[in-house]
Amino acid sequence: VFDGLPGLEDAFREIYPMADVQHCVVHKVRATFPKIRMADKTAFLSDLKQVYTAIDRDVALAVFDGFKSTWSKRYPKEVKSWEEQLPTLLTFYKYPSLVRNAIYTTNPIERTNKELRKRLKPMNSLTNIEAAEKIIYLQAIDYNENWCGRAVRGFSDPGTRAAFEAMYSERYANNKFKEE
């Protein structure tokens, strides 16, 4: 799951060529929000929300077509931007419904980064980079200990597990990763 940072997706695909890429829907909405006139914000965002909260990908694509016909004359750049990224904005629909909320946004990752910054900021001056790395390392160990026994909502469901195993088998069983 990525925000819109240029180059990140290409670098990821180079290392993990068969993995799925999901652009963060929340980041995309936040990036679009300031570009919409105040009078249209509520209706525009409400229509847009129906795209990424649809029951499945086919419905989301159909809803997007309606969204596009409603808003493309007033906001052609914004609608085109969504249309261009729609395949990676809707990747989460490939996954079991119980885990979609956990994978359509980078918010959990950002929350971890925020906690790391909160830990480092009070330490106005660190003696060297190794000191900062040690603090981050210790914080990561703490997170791992806190989260190791927990399952993100939906991931511990037996049906979800079976769906992931089937996806994995289909994607990787017949494809040998070739090292260059």
Q: Which of 103, 128, 157 is the last residue of a domain?
A: 103
One domain for residues 99 and 44: yes
Structural domain of residue 127, as residue ranges?
A: 107-147
One domain for residues 18 and 97: yes
Is residue 33 a part of any domain in this protein?
A: yes
pLDDT category of residue 179 using cuts at 50, 70 and 90? very low
In this structure, what are the phi and psi dihedrals at residue 150, rounded to the nearest 5 degrees? -100, 150
User: Looking up tokens 């493309």, which residue turns up?
Assistant: 72
One domain for residues 84 and 13: yes
- Between CA 74 and CA 36 the distance in angstroms is 9
Is residue 19 a part of any domain in this protein?
A: yes
Is residue 166 a part of any domain in this protein?
A: no
Tens of pLDDT, residues 4-38: 778 888 999 899 998 899 999 988 999 999 999 99
One domain for residues 22 and 70: yes
Tens of pLDDT, residues 64-76: 999 999 999 999 9
**Strand pairing partners for 23?**
2
Q: Which ranges of the chain does DSSP label H, i.e. alpha helix?
A: 8-15, 25-32, 41-52, 57-71, 76-89, 100-103, 107-120, 129-147, 158-172
- Between CA 175 and CA 173 the distance in angstroms is 6
Integer CA distances (angstroms), 130 to 133, 136, 142, in order: 5, 10, 18
pTM score:
0.75
